[in-house]
Structure 1
C-alpha cells in the first residue's frame, strides 16, 4: 500500500468515526437549547421569578451564542482556551444541585451559549471538510437537531413529573463525551485544503441571506421557546402540557423528514412561497382559538411548516455560500440565527401579557417579510433556483 492509498484509507476510516461524533454533538447542542424552553415553568417557579423575567434567561443563551460566534478562531491558543472552558462548564453542570441562585444560573446559561456558539463553528469545520472527502450526508446535522428536541421533551416530561428539573440539566454534564469526541477529532483534523482566500458576494445577496436567517431563526425560537408557557396558560396542567410538548417535538422530526422529500422533488422558489403562505394562514387562524387542544394542534402544525422552511432555505443558501467560503458562511448563519433568538427574547418580554396573540402575530408578520423576500429570490440569478 503506497502513501496515497494509506492516506485515503485513513481519511475514509476517520470519516466513518466522525459521523456518530458529529451526530451526538449536534443532538447535544439541540437538547441544551430546547430543554430550557420545555422546562420554563418549573425553572421560574423554582427561582421565584416572574414568567416575563424568564425571557432574560432565554436571551442569555442566544447572546452567548452570538459571543461564541464572534470569538471563534482557528488559532491553537483559542482552541486550548475553548477546551478548558468546556471542562469547567461540564463540571458546573455536574454540580447543578448546588446552584440555587438565579443570577448564578443565568451566568451558567450565558457561558453555555458561548460554548455552543464556539462549538457549533468548531464542529462545522470538521463536518464541511469530511463531507467533501468521505461523503458525510447533510442528514447528520438535521437528525441531530430534530432528535435533540425530542430527547429534551421526553426528559422534561419524565423529570418534571418524577424528579427535579435539575436532573434534566444534569444531563448536560455528558458534555464530557463531547470533549472526548472533539479531542479525538483534533487528532484526525490534519487536512485542510479549502480555498478561503476570498468571500466575495454582492452586498445585496449578503443582505438577502442575512434577513433570511434572522426571520427563520426568530420565528422558530419565538414558538419553540414559548410553547410550554402557552400550553400551561390554556391547558393549566403540567402533565398535559408536557405531553403536548412531546407531540410538538415530534412535529419537528416529521417536518425534517418532509423537508428532505420536498427539497429533492420540487422547485425551491415555489416551495418557499407556498410554505410561507401556509405558515401565514396557520398563524392567522390560530389567533381565534381558545381551546388548549386545538391550540396544541395548530402550534404543532406551525412548527412542522417552520421546520420545513428552516431546512429548505438554510440548506439551499448554505450550499450556495459554500462556493465562496464555508467557515464565513457558517458564521453568518449562526450570527443571524442567534440575533433572531435575542430579538425574540426582547419582544416576548415586552409583549408577554398577550403571549399567545404575540407569538402568532409575530410569526404572521415575519412570514409576510419572508414572502416579500422570496420575490428577491426569484430575481436573484443564483438563489432559490435549480
Structure 2
C-alpha cells in the first residue's frame, strides 16, 4: 500500500468539503455508571481525529455513539450540520472497522467486500468496479477468491478496511483496528492506514489506547480520562504543551520524570520554580550527559540500569535518592551500571504543576 504502487481510482476523490462532525455535551450513563461525561469536540472535514486514553476512559463508547450503536443519555451529535443523535446506524452513512475485523468466515474476500454494497442502487458491473477499485487500492486483488481463514492477520485487516471504504461513506470509524496484529505489522499497517486516509480525504475517528500509534497517525488527538476529554491538540502540541500532569505522564515513552517539590529538589536549585508549583516534570530526553557542567543545571547521579533501545540508551539514575530516567543518544563505551556522572538539563525543559495537577504556564 505504498504511495508509489497504489493506483489512482475513483475512491480517491472523496468530498472533503462536507461539514463537521460535532459532539456537543454528549453524555452516556449505564445505570449509576457515567461512561462519557459531557464530551464536546468538532471534527473537521477530512481530518483524522484519534480518541486516545487508558482502558475504561470512554473512548470506544464515544465512537459507538457516533456510529449510532449507543444512544446518548444527553447531548447532541451532528454530522454535516444535521442532528443525527437518534438516527439509526444504517441511515448515518458511516462505516466502521471493529477490533475483531468482523469478516464473514464463509464468504470470500470478494463477497465480504460486496456485502456493504448489497442495499445500494448499483448494477452488477458498478459493484464489480467498486470492488476492483478497493482491491487495487489495498493491494488485495490476488486475495479476492480466498476466504478469511486463508489470510494472515494483516491481510484480514486490509479486507476489513476495504469493506469499510468500498461504499464511499462520509465518515470512517475505527475501533482499535490494529490490536490483533504483532508489533512489526502494527507499525507497517498504521502507516498504510494513514496514507490511505490522506488519499481518500475521508473524515476519520480512530480509537486507540496506544499513544505511539496515536502520535504517528492522528492530525489531532482527543485525550480522554474518566469519560471526559482532557486535551485536544496536534501530536506536537499535546507532547510539548500538556495541559496537566495526566497528559504529561500519559504522552511520551519513556514516561516523564515527576519530582515533588517538597522532596529533594536540589536538582532545581537554579530553576526558580513558580510560587504555586508543587511538582516538576522533565522528560527523559531532556536529560543529557554534562561532563563539563555545560548545561544551565547539572547534578550528580549514579547509573543503576542501562537498557539499549535501538538508537539510544535508557538509563535509570539515582540522583540523591530521587529515581530518574534519562534517554541518552550516545553513551561512552566505558560508562555503565554503577558509574556516577554529571547530568544536566535546561530550565526551559521543566514542566511545573500546581496542586490540582494543572500545568503552570509562566507569562
Name the TM-score, length of structure 1 as normaliser: 0.24
Name the TM-score, length of structure 2 as normaliser: 0.25
- Tell me which protein shows more strand as a share of its residues: 2
Larger Rg: 2
- Tell me which protein shows more helix as a share of its residues: 1
Greater relative contact order (CA < 8 Å, ≥ 6 in sequence): 1
